[in-house]
Structure 1
Amino acid sequence: MFEGEIEDAGGDDDFGPACLLRTNELLRNATLAMARQSRMEWERYTAAAMVHRQVVEPTIGTESEMRALDPFAQCAARLAMAQGLTQHAAELQINRALALRDRLPEVNGLLKAGRVAAHHIPDIIARTELIDGSEHRAEIDRAIAEALGRRGSWSKNRMRDMVDAIIFRRDPDLVRRAREDAKNNRGVWASNADHGMAVMDACSTAEE
């Protein structure tokens, strides 16, 4: 994703005063900053996964799972307090961390190396939710990592299309089942708004 190898993505050296640098040096610094951002996101996800391993996984199958404030909620609350996040944001972070660790280890390796932009990770994880339990999971993970490792940039839509295409080529039934699940979740919802108004939301197929 980034041009060439980012060998010092985890380094601590200073970029230098921007006013003294030439254009190519500034562009290189911008690329290196994005790679370091990816590395920092990898460290956050790794820390979240380790906290989950220490706090939640030992309680699986025990009575603690049934408590009102279960171990997962406690884990998320501790991460939220440590990082100044909401409870929901911390829960998302844990789920993404577990997806990278268990479902997408090859993609996780690219994130650690600073070879994939951190802002693409939520989309990649969301598009690969349907491969859990698939016999093609490791192959899909490798194919996505190989595509991300090529030179060039990725828009949001191009990233989603790439992931969907890789999944469809390996296991088209997964995509069909996901489509059926989405259709089964169609509906219409209304909620109150200010000044005596209401908001109506609908979920349906694009054709409808």
Structure 2
Amino acid sequence: MIGSSPQQWVNTLMDTLGAPGAGIAIALENLFPPLPSEVILPLAGFAVSTGEINLIAALLWTTAGSVVGALALYGLGAWLGRERTVALASKVPLVKASDMERTEDWFNRHGMKAVFFGRMIPLFRSLISVPAGVERMPLPVFICLTTLGSAIWNTAFIMAGYALGENWRKVSSYVSTYSKLVLGIVLLVLLTFVVRRVVKSRKQGRRHRRRQD
């Protein structure tokens, strides 16, 4: 029996439904990050190695699940739209309208690469779908890029789980290090942004007081 409750839940889902169960788990993983793909996919690979599910079915269903989950978040971004997103962002401390404009310009230039490669980066795998929806990236393009990127990610992890067999948990431990590295980089970037914005704000405040004096 697998130890932690998320793993138990995924295992039960695949025992009950087979490959479609893995697809459902991956779709939910896009919406609920506590269900990490680096656990679901190697576990599916292990199930393939034992003959419980078919390899091709596992690859197809998990990729379909990735696309369905991504479409749900794309829909959220499309529903929010640019005006709502800017309004929400303006309420965040230290964030300015110009920041949103720069982010929008960046996505317009690099959105296709971001959606494709973002499928292979923890944390961004799910989040990248929201700005794609906000910017109304053409749906066929979004689906194509999501399918290709997700297929690469899913295949790599399923095959790793298949190759390792009962040692499939090793995949999760390796990716956990990768995920922590990505999270660390994100936190460092955010900290740098906050420090620079606070320093700039204080300088502007001092200049304003000097003018008044």
TM-score by length of 1: 0.27
